[in-house]
Amino acid sequence: MITRTEVDGVPALLAPTTGPMHAGLVFRVGHADEPLTRRGITHLIEHLALFSFGVADYHYNGATGIEHTLFHMRGAETDIVAFLNGVCAGLHDLPMHRLAIEKEILRTEENGRGENAADALAPWRYGARDHGMPGYPEWGLTGLTPDHLRTWTAHYFNRQNAALWIAGPGVPAGLELKLPEGMRRPPPAPSSALPVRPAYFPGDSDVVAWDAVVDRGAGAAVFADVLKRSLFRSLRQESGLSYQVHTEYTPRTGGRAVLTAVADALPEKRDAVLGGFIDVLAAARLGRIDAAEVATVVAQRRQELTHADQAGARLPGQVFNLLDGRPVQNLDQVLAELGAVTRDSVAAVAAAACADGLLMTPGRAEADWAGYAAAPAGSERTVDGLTRPALGEPRIRLVAGDTGVSMAGGDSVSTVLFAECSAVLQWPDGGRRFVGHDAVYVHIEPTLFPDGPALIADLDARTHPDLRVPMPARNPDRIPRPPVPVEATAQRGERLARRISGITGLFLTLSAALLSGLFLLAFLTMADDGEEDALDRALAVFFLGVIAASTYGGYRAIRRLLGR
């Protein structure tokens, strides 16, 4: 039985457990609260708050989610007290001397995490704001200062924006949650970057992924499990196309939830996996839901919920409800809601989910043949302004105006308006990337456009300083260079041919002069003294002429080498 209490002004939920005591301190802040310019700040604060614990004899952890941040610990009462009190102390006085090191740790962690298919869907659905943040790297880390962290901590990591849960006999003695005063922060309303649904976009990896936003409830949770069973049966057991098939039900604030489904594929089986995946979704959309399978899933979830309640594992979810302003449910209430789920209610969830679905296809495949509209990957028009063709690539045009910047090439256009810009990434070498609220971006390399440095200076002057995100310096080899124009290539070939011709001519003329000189010397040595005849004089004149001609040829060859 879950009971409510309060610890130092922080609302708390208590419940008995059959296992070791465990507890968690939750704050209503996550990735969705971060602007793109501060992407990673909550995760960094979580790391800094836990630094003082180092290598401990008990299990502890922190986790930053989309809407909540959690500090969790399992162990003896004294250890739990030390941990929770220490977290509050760490948040009160973050170890700023660790700032640079922890930033590097987070970059390393991100680099080794790999691509998450569910996160890849986020920017396409929400854009470069709020709930789209999981799809972006933690770009904000580089520019974060101690003042940024202190402001963020005061805003979100306070008493009124926190809740506690304890699985155990009661509140342990000595627990003191010394948090500053503040206010409850509701999560931002999810934005939308999808003008039409269901929609699809081509992915780069060998994975099919899909998500949908539906009403929160037991029926949606049951459908997630029914969908997993259907996908597993079709893609793995019957056809052997996939190895890993996964679905997830994630409650969100505002009475909504996200359903996610992912299936892997071999490169040569991408199309088959995509077709099988779409077939399973189509059957669900048409209401082909097996009542017996629904009953099986309901029974399994009933058993899992009962076990979780006994172990205190339901507490984190109920604390999220507490922070979100939703009622806290005891086990009987949850089981009653689950018991009301029917085949028809699951079919209704399936129809709503399929109508809202966003599909990521594998290997750049298309899905318009299955009734999915292509999600917009660019913009409809360019801004009004000065047009600059790229050096060596005139079909690529950059348009910079008073209202924004556009990049056009072929049939594609990308436009970011200054008034609807989420961030401007700035590299020390002058590279810039403008990211719009709709996730469309314009990347500019000053080396690829006429008057590049002046162009960048003008664009910097038009963007708000708060949107600028400093990026680490790039290796010079990674800075693009313009392609060599055809004219320059031709001129270079002409210079090379002239140089080769000059060297060849110089070699031949010097060789001729040398041989002629040797022949002349030999002739003069062998000639009889005082008895020169006409033939001797003719041969001497001939060799002297060859030497003179060779000298002049050498002079001309040297001029060709010098480009004259």
- Tally the C-alpha atoms within 13 A of residue 403's C-alpha that lie toward its C-beta: 7
Interatomic CA distance for residues 425 and 427, integer angstroms: 7
Global pTM value: 0.84
Q: What is the DSSP letter of 238?
A: I
Q: Are strands 245-252 and 386-390 parallel, antiparallel or unpaired?
A: unpaired
Tens digit of pLDDT for each residue in 295-341?
999 999 999 999 999 999 999 999 999 998 899 999 999 999 999 99
Looking at residue 243, the DSSP 8-state letter turns out to be S
Contact criterion met (CB below 8 Å) for 152 and 222:
no
**Per-residue pLDDT, 141:** 96
pLDDT value of residue 410: 83
CB 159 within 8 A of CB 91: no
Each residue's pLDDT tens digit, 510-559: 665 566 656 556 655 665 554 556 666 666 666 566 566 666 666 665 66
pLDDT for position 112: 83
Letter string b/e over residues 513-543, b meaning 16 or more CB atoms within 10 A of that residue's CB: beebeeebeeeeeeeeeeeeeeeeeeeeeeb
The structure tokens 């260079």 sit at 481
Structure tokens at 287: 């209401």
Dihedral Cα 30, 35, 38, 42, nearest 10 deg: -10
Q: Is domain 386-478 annotated with CATH 1.10.3470? A: no
- CA nearest neighbour of 294 among 339, 260, 262: 339
CB contact at 8 A, 25 and 319: no
Residue ranges of the chain with per-residue pLDDT less than 70: 55-58, 484-564
The backbone torsions φ and ψ at residue 12, rounded to the nearest 5 degrees and listed phi first, read: -140, 150
* Cis preceding linkage at 198, omega within 30: yes
Q: 199-374 has which fold? A: Cytochrome Bc1 Complex; Chain A, domain 1 (3.30.830)
3-167: CATH architecture? 2-Layer Sandwich (3.30)
280-298: burial string, b at 16+ Cβ within 10 Å, e else: bbeebbeeebeeebbeebb
Cα separations (Å) of 18 from 169, 284, 313, 332? 10, 39, 11, 18
